[in-house]
Structure 1
Amino acid sequence: MSVQDSTFHGFANPVDPSPTELRAWAYHPDSVPLASMPPDWDLLVAGDHLVLTLFDLAMDPACPARRFALHCLYIYAADGIRTNFRAHPKRRFRKLVEQAEREGDELMRNWAHNSRVLLARQDLFVYHDWCEGGLVRENRRIG
């Protein structure tokens, strides 16, 4: 049985979910609504521990929580770039951007493009776009 076929029954610790829990939730997001999560849950999960899982979920057009995962990738990218990669490894970030460019659909290619633009021009950072989901909702390219 795959994660997508199973039912998700909740997080052991929603402040620090495991990759397996996050993946299971992402395919059954109505089982634990975002509104019931801790405040700023998107900021909590948008770190190195879960970034590969978030990336996989964002790459899957069939994932019901895909847009949430993509939103977290925008937070991850902005956090890494704006801290000069003290917050996240630059090498991992670059690999994700390159993979999104090669294998991603329009949503993921836009994330990769926007990430590269922000890397070159940090003055284009707008909190609403990068950390509050603006670029995900509008699916637009900056720069």
Structure 2
Amino acid sequence: MSVQQSGFQGFANPVDPSPAELRAWAYEPDSVPLQSMPQDWDLLVAGDRLVPTLFELAMDRSCPARRFALHCLYIYAADGIRTNFRAHPRRRLRKLVEQAEQAGDELMTTWAHNARMLLARPDLFNYHDWCEGGLVRQGKRLG
């Protein structure tokens, strides 16, 4: 009888995961289902410390948790823009948007387009779309 060892053993602190823990979980998301995470976990991880990891995961077409990472990027963009960049640095968001435009696939270029649209027209913010995954599920490109 053999016991198969999982590459991801869980979070030391799910409220504040490390980039390495988040990356490991993203490639084995069934090891700790989203439903078992703390409430609003997406809002907790969508911050400056983890956004480079989330961006990397969202750019990886083979990442099983790619859509979750993309969802967190929508939260990050909306949070930065809606707080007039008090929550997150404008420069960081701009760099992510430019990277997505240059090297991203359709999902990522749509995110970049939508972030630019929200920057130009903050009235396009809708909590359901930006913070509850509506834009990710719909794949909608704002006009």
What is the TM-score normalised by the length of structure 2?
0.96
Q: Distance in 2 between matches of 1:7 and 1:29?
A: 11
- Secondary structure of the residue that 1:115 maps to in structure 2? helix
Which residue of the partner structure matches residue 128 of structure 1?
Answer: 128
AA of the residue aligned to 1:41: W
Instruction: List per-residue Cα deviations over 1:12-33 (Å, max 9, x = no partner).
Output: 0000000000000000000000
Compute the displacement of 1:7 (Å). Answer: 1.1
Instruction: List per-residue Cα deviations over 1:41-98 (Å, max 9, x = no partner).
Output: 0000000000000000000000000000000000000000000000000001000000
1:43 equivalent to 2:43? Answer yes
1:61-72 matched pairs, under 5 angstroms: 61-72=61-72
Q: Distance in 1 between matches of 2:110 and 2:137?
A: 12
The percentage of aligned residue pairs carrying the same residue is 82
- Secondary structure of the residue that 1:123 maps to in structure 2? helix
Q: Which has the larger radius of gyration?
A: 2
1:1-143 matched pairs, under 5 angstroms: 7-143=7-143
The gaps in structure 1 that reach 5 residues or longer are: 1-5
State the superposition RMSD in angstroms: 0.6
The gaps in structure 2 that reach 5 residues or longer are: 1-5
AA of the residue aligned to 1:16: D
Q: Distance in 1 between matches of 2:8 and 2:32?
A: 8
What count of residue pairs does the alignment treat as equivalent? 138
Q: Distance in 2 between matches of 1:51 and 1:22?
A: 11
Instruction: List per-residue Cα deviations over 1:76-124 (Å, max 9, x = no partner).
Output: 0000000000000000100000000000000000000000000000001
What is the TM-score normalised by the length of structure 1?
0.96
